[in-house]
Structures are given as structure tokens and as C-alpha cells.
């Protein structure tokens, strides 16, 4: 059966010091650096928070994690000085970094709670999450706002929680890991990062003349006539764990000709299907799934080591709600596999061109489910001197982020936070449990689901 959390009643108090701007430890170049045409698309103009949780370490008993990380941040910003700048917008909504050296926001805090009180399963939704990352007034804009906000909260047990919020136009998950690795190296006394950052954003700018050569359903303009965009205040978050048992249970639904599918593909197909059934859209509604694909390895001429900009595509695939809900899992799986295979070098170039031609549109949000696999990103490996993280992952409703997780039984698997309205969440859990509980001799086609015309 799937394991999911319910909202925990745990409350605690966080005492915050005044937010401060950390500037680079040495003088840095004052220049204007344009972002790439992949970086500054409408869909990336937001801030992403990531939570990193660390246990206490007897060897570090006399060290204050906030002081250690604050000092390292000033040193890391010498190399990653664009992060200390501010975004400006030029003609055609083109974004550029004014490398002004104004600094990154940093908050030191203490909480009157231990890591043990968070519970056995460290996973979203985290209690009092808004206390673990104070949204400094005026800091969450895109233009003329800090590009980084870091809060380090020390716990009573000696453990600590770091929440890092970064502007997504600056980097993707791999760029973020590269920056945080440099930061962690600086905490251990290194004077230069092991991987030097490379800007070179012109590598992912539109061609001249720009030409859209691929189909990009992720940018389709769709009017929300049926009210399918879910208001955030109606959302409920639960985390679902998929270990070897759960994955093999889902794989029983995979048709023979698709058995070469990856765990990510089969899990995405399963979640997309269960989520659609739970939302009860109109049978004729178009439902989209977008899979974020790291395109670094898709290029003939390798992306330079040290490049920390956005190098991903999120090809979308579409199915009528009726087909998703009533056809076997193979229908959704085939679509997911096809979409993922489309993320080629040409596809990414076509995205950059589309941005310039269409004025940097947003992703399609109507009827969309966005997923991203960060299980191999190295998030857990980042060590500031206290050891590896006991939990590390993004905390944002915009996508279902797959992270690595070891559950209370010691099983290693994938953790997926799902955001849905409360009433739909109950249906989602029921549908998922049905898929995970099937016996080998069961018919692999679920009975037809009646799709209601009512909206959520």
C-alpha cells in the first residue's frame, strides 16, 4: 500500500535574527549579463524553495551552522557573483543580470524543536514551513529582487534545517547543485570550487532567424473554460513513497511491448492516470503531463562543465480525460515515453526560438501535471561539515518532484509530494491503492470510471 502523510499538529516557535545581505567577500566585476532564451521564459520566472535537513554531529558541537554557511556564502559569491546581482528587463522582455554585488539574503534562526519531534518520516508537508523560510517583504519579486534567500534554522538537538530559495531563471536543478556544492566546499576551507562556474548563456539563445521546428504542446494557449486550474488555498499536500514493492506492483500493468520503460516513466504514467481520475474532469477535456528532461547529454557538442544555466526541456503529451481514465496504463505510459524521447538538441533550440517569436510565453497550466526527477541530482550528498542530509528536496506546488528517500523500514525508494484539493486527494489515494493492491491474476484493465461533469 502507498504510504502518505497527513497534516501533523506539531507547532513550534522560530526566533529569527534580522535578514541580512551577504555580499561577495572580494570585489567582483560590475557588468550586465543577459540570460539565455531558455532561462528567461515566462514559466521560469518564479522562486523555488528547497529544504535540506541535517542531523547533529558531535564533531561539530562548537560550530554554529549559520555562521559557517554565512562565511562560505560570501566566498562562494566571489565565483558566482551574478547571484549577488539583480534582474533587469530589456526590450522583448529579455532578462539580464545587473551584476551589482548587492548581495544574497541570509537569515539566521533558532527553533524550539528537535528533529525527532518532526516524526519518523521526514517528508513534505513540513510543519510551520513558512517559519523555516521567512518571505522577507519585497524579496519575492523577479526584477530588482535578491536572486537567493537562505535561512539556516538551528534545532534544539544540534541538527539544523537550511531552506534555499532561488530564482529559477538563474539555474536549473543541476546548476543549483553545482552552486551548493561550491558553497559546501567553502565551508570546509576550500578557496576555489572544484568546478568553476561558466556563464556562456549565448549557447542557449535563439537562432538567427529564429524558427520553431518542433511541436511544443507545453506552450499551447488554452483557455480555462471549465475551471480546471486549482486555487492554491484549496490544495492539500501528501507525500507518497514508492519502494521496490510498489514499483513492481505498478509494473504488472505494463504491456509486453513497453517493458523497457524506466521507473520514472511507469510511475509518471500511474500518477498522471490516478490524478486525472481523482480530479473528475469532463471526458472530453485535454489533460497534459509535462516531464522535465535534463538535456545536457543530448547535445552533440557537449555543454561545458561548469555551465549552471537552465538546460532542460519539458515536452508535454496530451490525452483526452476519457482515454486516460478508461484505457489501461499502457495508454498513458506510451504517451509519457514518447514525450520524453522528444527532448533532443533540436527540440531545445526550437524552444529558444519559440520564446523569441512568441514573447516568452508561460507553460500551459490548464489540465497540466508537471513532474521532475531529482533522484540522481546529488541533493542528499551536499555536506556542510555535519554529514549528508537526512532529507533534501524542492518544496513547491508547481511540480511533482521525485526525490530519493529511505522510509522508516529502511527501504530505499522514491518520494513524490502530490498537491490536490482535499476531496480529490481522497479519490487519488483510493485509486492509487487499488493499483498497488492488484493480485497477479487480476484483470489489468480497471473497470470503467464514470467521469462527473462537476468541477472542483
Domain extent listing, the chain? 7-201, 217-436
User: If you average pLDDT over residues 231-251, what whole number do you get?
Assistant: 86
CB atoms within 10 A of CB 63: 15
Where helices occur in 379-452 by DSSP H, the ranges are: 422-436
**Is 408 a residue of the active site?**
no
Q: Does pLDDT of 128 surpass 80?
A: no
Q: If pLDDT is split at 50, 70 and 90, which confidence band does 65 have?
A: very high
Instruction: Pick 7-201's CATH classification: 3.40.50.1100, 3.30.559.10, 3.40.718.10, 3.40.50.1980.
Output: 3.30.559.10
* pTM for this entry: 0.89
SS3 (DSSP) at 132? helix
Catalytic residue among 71, 98, 383, 444: 383
Catalytic residue among 52, 168, 216, 380: 168
**Is 168 a residue of the active site?**
yes
pLDDT of residue 16: 95
Cβ(310)–Cβ(175) below 8 Å: yes
Q: Does pLDDT of 121 surpass 70?
A: no
pLDDT of residue 439: 54
Q: If pLDDT is split at 50, 70 and 90, which confidence band does 147 have?
A: very high
Q: Does pLDDT of 78 surpass 80?
A: yes
Which cell goes with 177? Answer: 547543485
Determine the Cα–Cα distance for residues 69 and 50; give it in Å rounded to an integer. 16
Which cell goes with 455? Answer: 468541477
Q: If pLDDT is split at 50, 70 and 90, which confidence band does 375 have?
A: confident
Task: Label the pairing between strands 95-98 and 32-34.
Answer: antiparallel
Strand (E) or helix (H) holding 254: none
Q: If pLDDT is split at 50, 70 and 90, which confidence band does 389 have?
A: very high
pLDDT of residue 120: 56
pLDDT of residue 151: 98
Counting Cβ atoms within 10 Å, is residue 86 exposed (0-12), middle (13-18) or buried (19+)? buried
Q: If pLDDT is split at 50, 70 and 90, which confidence band does 367 have?
A: confident
Cβ(173)–Cβ(48) below 8 Å: no
> Could you tell me where the beta strands, DSSP code E, fall in 230-348?
235-242, 286-294, 312-313, 316-320
pLDDT of residue 149: 98
Q: If pLDDT is split at 50, 70 and 90, which confidence band does 331 have?
A: very high
Cβ(412)–Cβ(375) below 8 Å: no
Counting Cβ atoms within 10 Å, is residue 420 exposed (0-12), middle (13-18) or buried (19+)? buried
User: φ and ψ at 157, to 5 degrees?
Assistant: -80, -5
Percent of the chain with pLDDT over 90: 69
Instruction: Pick 217-436's CATH classification: 3.30.559.10, 3.30.1330.40, 3.90.480.20, 3.40.640.10.
Output: 3.30.559.10
Q: If pLDDT is split at 50, 70 and 90, which confidence band does 224 have?
A: low
Which cell goes with 187? Answer: 565551508
Q: If pLDDT is split at 50, 70 and 90, which confidence band does 409 have?
A: confident
Q: Does pLDDT of 263 surpass 80?
A: yes
Average pLDDT, the chain: 88
pLDDT of residue 129: 79
Fold match between 7-201 and 217-436? yes
Task: Label the pairing between strands 148-154 and 286-294.
Answer: unpaired
Q: What is the pLDDT of residues 287-321, one digit of tens each?
A: 999 998 888 888 888 899 999 999 999 999 999 99
Q: If pLDDT is split at 50, 70 and 90, which confidence band does 7 have?
A: very low
Cβ(106)–Cβ(20) below 8 Å: yes
User: If you average pLDDT over residues 184-205, what whole number do you get?
Assistant: 96
Amino acid at each position: 500500500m502507498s504510504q502518505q502523510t497527513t497534516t501533523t499538529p506539531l507547532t513550534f516557535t522560530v526566533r529569527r535574527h534580522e535578514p541580512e545581505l551577504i555580499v561577495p567577500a572580494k570585489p567582483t566585476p560590475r557588468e550586465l549579463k543577459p540570460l539565455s532564451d531558455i532561462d528567461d521564459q515566462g514559466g521560469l520566472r518564479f522562486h523555488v524553495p528547497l529544504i535540506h535537513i541535517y542531523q547533529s554531529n558531535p564533531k561539530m558541537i562548537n560550530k554554529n551552522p549559520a555562521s559557517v554557511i554565512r562565511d562560505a556564502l560570501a566566498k562562494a559569491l566571489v565565483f558566482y557573483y551574478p547571484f549577488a546581482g539583480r534582474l533587469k528587463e530589456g526590450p522583448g522582455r529579455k532578462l539580464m543580470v545587473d551584476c551589482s554585488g548587492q548581495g544574497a539574503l541570509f537569515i539566521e534562526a533558532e527553533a524550539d524543536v528537535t528533529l525527532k519531534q518532526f516524526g519518523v518520516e521526514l517528508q513534505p508537508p513540513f510543519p510551520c514551513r513558512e517559519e523555516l523560510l521567512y518571505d522577507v517583504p519585497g524579496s519575492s519579486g523577479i526584477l530588482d529582487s535578491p536572486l537567493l534567500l537562505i535561512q539556516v534554522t538551528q534545532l534544539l538537538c544540534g541538527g539544523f534545517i537550511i531552506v534555499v530559495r532561488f530564482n529559477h531563471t538563474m539555474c536549473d536543478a543541476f546548476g543549483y547543485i553545482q552552486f551548493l556544492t561550491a558553497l559546501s566546499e567553502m565551508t570546509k576551507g576550500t578557496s576555489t570550487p572544484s568546478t568553476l562556474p561558466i556563464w556562456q548563456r549565448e549557447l542557449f539563445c535563439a537562432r538567427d532567424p529564429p524558427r520553431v521546428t518542433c511541436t511544443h504542446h507545453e506552450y499551447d494557449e488554452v483557455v480555462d473554460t471549465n475551471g480546471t486550474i486549482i486555487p492554491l488555498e484549496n490544495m492539500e499536500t501528501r507525500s507518497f513513497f514508492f519502494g521496490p514493492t510498489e514499483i513492481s506492483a505498478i509494473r504488472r500493468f505494463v504491456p509486453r511491448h513497453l517493458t523497457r520503460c524506466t521507473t520514472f516513466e511507469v510511475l509518471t504514467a500511474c500518477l498522471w492516470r490516478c490524478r486525472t481520475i481523482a480530479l473528475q474532469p469532463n471526458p472530453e477535456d485535454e489533460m497534459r503531463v509535462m516531464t522535465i528532461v535534463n538535456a545536457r547529454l543530448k547535445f552533440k557538442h557537449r555543454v561545458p562543465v561548469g555551465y549552471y544555466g537552465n538546460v532542460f526541456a519539458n515536452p508535454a503529451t496530451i490525452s483526452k480525460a476519457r482515454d486516460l481514465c478508461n484505457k489501461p496504463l499502457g495508454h498513458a505510459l506510451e504517451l509519457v515515453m514518447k514525450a520524453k524521447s522528444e527532448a533532443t538538441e533540436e527540440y531545445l533550440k526550437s524552444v529558444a526560438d519559440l520564446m523569441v517569436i512568441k514573447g516568452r510565453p508561460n507553460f500551459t497550466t490548464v489540465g497540466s501535471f508537471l513532474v521532475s526527477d531529482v533522484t540522481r541530482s546529488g541533493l542528499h550528498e551536499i555536506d556542510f561539515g555535519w554529514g549528508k542530509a537526512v532529507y533534501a528536496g524542492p518544496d513547491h506546488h508547481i511540480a511533482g518532484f521525485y526525490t530519493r528517500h529511505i522510509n522508516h523500514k529502511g527501504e530505499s525508494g522514491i518520494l513524490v509530494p502530490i498537491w490536490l484539493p482535499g476531496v480529490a486527494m481522497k479519490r487519488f489515494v483510493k485509486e492509487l491503492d487499488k493499483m498497488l493492491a492488484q493480485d497477479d491474476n487480476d484483470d489489468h484493465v480497471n473497470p470503467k470510471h464514470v467521469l462527473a461533469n462537476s468541477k472542483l
